[in-house]
């Protein structure tokens, strides 16, 4: 006989409690406990029990055998880079992003290009006809991809048993529900139970599973936080739908680095890989205008050349405006305070607008020198040459602090035809500058950089 138990589950962290509480004692969130009914059958409990022979034995570290399993190479090189070299057999990957950003398009156009293994694409949001129309729009046809529209977890496992796929795609996890739970699809209990059973199947069979998930208004993965803990890799698909470019970031990756970045361009035929994003992020116009500068930033291990645009004007109203797009607003206010205190530029009564071109969001402190150069270029109306780039962190005392991976930044600037790069003096120690065809200028103070640019 099946027994039904009622528990209260926190929608923020996923912990369950026997009774309702106003505040979750695990994560401290208020009014996040929701009621869930869990059905437990005696057969399920009997199957889950392990005998003493099946229980794992503690092993020394030296006794554990390791093997480098070959990764499954995806058709997209950008996706392989973010995954750390490709899909790991038996892994579970979660891809999240805003509605309409291109999550399903990214997964579908990759799976349609796989010919070496059978793919089962489970859709709980779209019909088979809609997926067929999208495949025709992408210009891809495949005989190895099987489409099934179902939201029952038990039926999905039957489809898996019948088709014996080498890759499984779930679109999306919030639409899948198990018959063992009475709660609706998308609830905390359903998302947790379905994810756990899919992960168990992936580990036991060695078949990788790609799961598409929704996000909340705050930009976090919808559902319990335990969903991100269950999966092996969490990828965030970012970008404004009004811009052409999409960014694929790795938030969590058990098999690779979490600082990788993949860049795509949304075109009529789907998502196109951007192999050299620096050429696209830089302005191609030959007109020299004040208020722009070029900085060299790092996204993971990839150097990028980014154009920083600034506009400084006299405040038309009593309170000056501070508007920032793609950069930290608090950090820009700190840089404005450094300019006023250490350099002597009076910007307290002026409006300052800052924009990172291309819709990028940058957190690298090495962009500080490019930000203050663009602000002062607009303030004094002097053009910063487009053949000059810079990389350096600005401290509160006005010093230029060293940055990481300076050799890769210099090589990226040289590859794109820059004639001069301004870097911190501390980064030059121990570097071999003889083989470089770009002029390297070292500075240690903000005043030195401004003297070079605006003398």
Mean pLDDT of 105-123: 93
pLDDT greater at residue 452 or residue 226: 452
Determine, yes or no, domain membership for 353. yes
| pLDDT at 196 exceeding the cut of 60 | yes
Given the structure tokens 């069979």, which residue do they identify? 205
Which CATH number fits the domain that encloses residue 142? 3.40.50.300
- 99 appears as a binding residue in the annotation: yes
Does 125 share its domain with 271? yes
- pLDDT at residue 67 greater than cutoff 60: yes
- 178 or 223, which is more confident: 178
Q: What pLDDT is recorded for position 49? A: 44
Average pLDDT, the chain: 86
pLDDT of residue 4: 67
Query: Mean pLDDT over residues 12-24, rounded?
Result: 83
98 is in an annotated binding site: yes
Calpha distance 397→424 (Å, rounded): 15
- 202-242 pLDDT, tens digit each: 999 999 999 999 887 777 777 777 788 899 999 998 876 66
Pair (217, 271) in one structural domain:
yes
Q: Is 103 annotated as a binding residue?
A: yes
Average pLDDT over residues 236-265: 82
Whether 8 is covered by a domain: the verdict is yes
- Confidence band for 50, pLDDT divided at 50, 70 and 90: very low
What's the full length of the chain, in residues?
455
265: CB partners within 8 A, 6+ apart: 244, 245, 246, 271, 272, 273, 274, 280
Q: How many domains does the chain have?
A: 3
102 in a labelled binding site: yes
Q: Which domain holds residue 441?
A: 279-454
pLDDT tens-place string over residues 310-329: 999 988 777 889 999 999 99
Residue range 145-168: mean pLDDT, rounded? 94
Domain C-terminal end among 249, 275, 301: 275
Q: Chain centroid to CA 289: how far?
A: 33
> Is residue 407 included in any domain, yes or no?
yes
Residue 383: what pLDDT?
A: 92
Q: What is the pLDDT of residue 168?
A: 96
What pLDDT is recorded for position 287?
A: 60
pLDDT band for position 436 (50/70/90)? Answer: confident
Q: Assign residue 48 a region: left if phi > 0, alpha if psi is -120 to 50, beta otherwise? A: alpha
Cα distance between residue 108 and residue 121, in whole Å:
8
CATH number of the domain within which 438 lies: 3.30.230.10
Q: Are residues 118 and 231 in the same domain?
A: yes
Of 61-65, 252-256, 316-320, which gets the smallest average pLDDT? 316-320
**440 occurs within a structural domain:** yes
How sure is the predictor about 338, in pLDDT bands with cuts at 50, 70 and 90? Answer: very high
**Within a domain: 308:** yes
pLDDT at 180: 83
The closest alpha carbon to 366, from 318, 340, 331, 314, belongs to 331
Digit-coded pLDDT (tens) for 346-400: 888 899 999 998 778 888 999 999 999 999 999 999 999 888 999 999 999 999 9
pLDDT given for residue 46 in this prediction? 42
Residues 427 and 304 both lie in one domain = yes
411 with 448, same domain: the answer is yes
Query: Looking at residues 81-108, what average pLDDT do you find?
Result: 91
370 contacts: CB under 8 Å, gap ≥ 6: 293, 294, 295, 306, 308, 389, 390, 391
Q: Residue 3: pLDDT above 70?
A: no
Co-location of 305 and 435 in the same domain:
yes
**202 and 110 in one domain?**
yes
Same structural domain for residues 140 and 182? yes
Residue 266 shares a structural domain with residue 284: no
Q: Is residue 395 part of a domain?
A: yes
226 and 283, same domain (yes or no): no
* Same domain, yes or no: 193 and 292: no
Range name among 126-135, 342-351, 394-403 with the lowest pLDDT average: 342-351
Q: Which domain-ending residue is among 275, 307, 325?
A: 275
pLDDT at 51 > cutoff 50: no
Whether 409 maps to a domain, the answer reads yes
pLDDT at 285: 55
pLDDT in tens, 267-315: 888 898 887 777 777 765 556 789 999 999 988 778 889 999 999 998 8
Residue 284 has a pLDDT of 59
Residue 63 located in a structural domain: no
Confidence of residue 69 (pLDDT cuts 50, 70, 90): low
- Residue 392 labelled as part of a binding site: no
The verdict on 405 and 360 lying in the same domain is yes
Separation of alpha carbons 176 and 212, rounded Å = 11
């Amino acid at each position: 006989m099946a027994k039904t138990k009622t528990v209260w589950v926190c929608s923020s962290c996923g912990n369950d409690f026997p009774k309702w509480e106003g505040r979750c004692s695990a994560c401290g969130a208020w009014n996040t406990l929701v009621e869930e009914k869990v059905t437990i059958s005696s057969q399920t409990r009997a199957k889950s029990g392990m005998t003493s022979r099946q229980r794992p034995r503690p092993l020394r570290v030296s006794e554990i055998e390791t093997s480098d399993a070959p990764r499954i190479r995806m058709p997209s090189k950008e996706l392989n880079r973010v995954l750390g070299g490709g899909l790991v057999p038996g892994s579970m990957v979660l891809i999240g992003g805003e509605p309409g950003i291109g999550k399903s398009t990214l997964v579908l156009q990759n799976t349609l290009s796989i010919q070496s293994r059978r793919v089962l694409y489970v859709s709980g949001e779209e019909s088979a006809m809609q997926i067929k129309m999208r495949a025709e729009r992408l210009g891809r046809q495949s005989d190895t991809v099987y489409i099934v529209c179902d939201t029952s977890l038990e039926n999905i496992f039957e489809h898996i048993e019948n088709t014996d796929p080498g890759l499984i795609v779930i679109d999306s996890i919030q639409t899948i529900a198990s018959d063992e739970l009475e709660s609706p699809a998308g609830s905390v209990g359903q998302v947790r139970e379905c994810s756990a059973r899919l992960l168990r199947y992936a580990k036991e069979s060695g078949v990788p599973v790609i799961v598409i998930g929704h996000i909340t208004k705050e930009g976090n993965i919808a559902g319990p936080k335990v969903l991100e803990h269950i999966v092996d890799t969490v990828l965030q698909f970012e970008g404004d739908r009004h811009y052409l470019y999409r960014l694929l970031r790795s938030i969590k990756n058990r098999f690779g680095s979490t600082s990788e970045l993949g860049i795509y361009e949304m075109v009529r035929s789907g998502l196109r890989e951007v192999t050299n994003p620096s050429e696209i992020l830089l302005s191609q116009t030959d007109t020299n205008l004040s208020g722009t500068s070029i900085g060299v930033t790092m996204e993971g291990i990839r150097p990028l050349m980014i154009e920083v645009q600034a506009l400084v004007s006299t405040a038309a109203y009593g309170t000056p405006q501070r508007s920032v797009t793609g950069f930290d607003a608090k950090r820009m206010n700190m840089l404005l305070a450094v300019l006023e205190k250490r350099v002597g530029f009076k910007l307290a009564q002026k409006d300052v607008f800052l924009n990172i071109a291309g819709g990028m969001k940058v957190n690298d402190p090495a962009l500080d020198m490019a930000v203050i150069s663009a602000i002062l270029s607009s303030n004094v109306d002097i053009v910063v040459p487009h053949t000059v780039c810079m990389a350096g962190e600005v401290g509160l005392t006005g010093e230029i602090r060293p940055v990481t991976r300076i050799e890769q930044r210099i090589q990226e600037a040289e590859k794109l035809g820059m004639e001069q790069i301004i870097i911190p003096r501390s980064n030059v120690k121990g570097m071999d500058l003889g083989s470089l065809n770009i002029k390297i200028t070292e500075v240690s103070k903000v005043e030195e950089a401004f003297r070079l640019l605006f003398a």
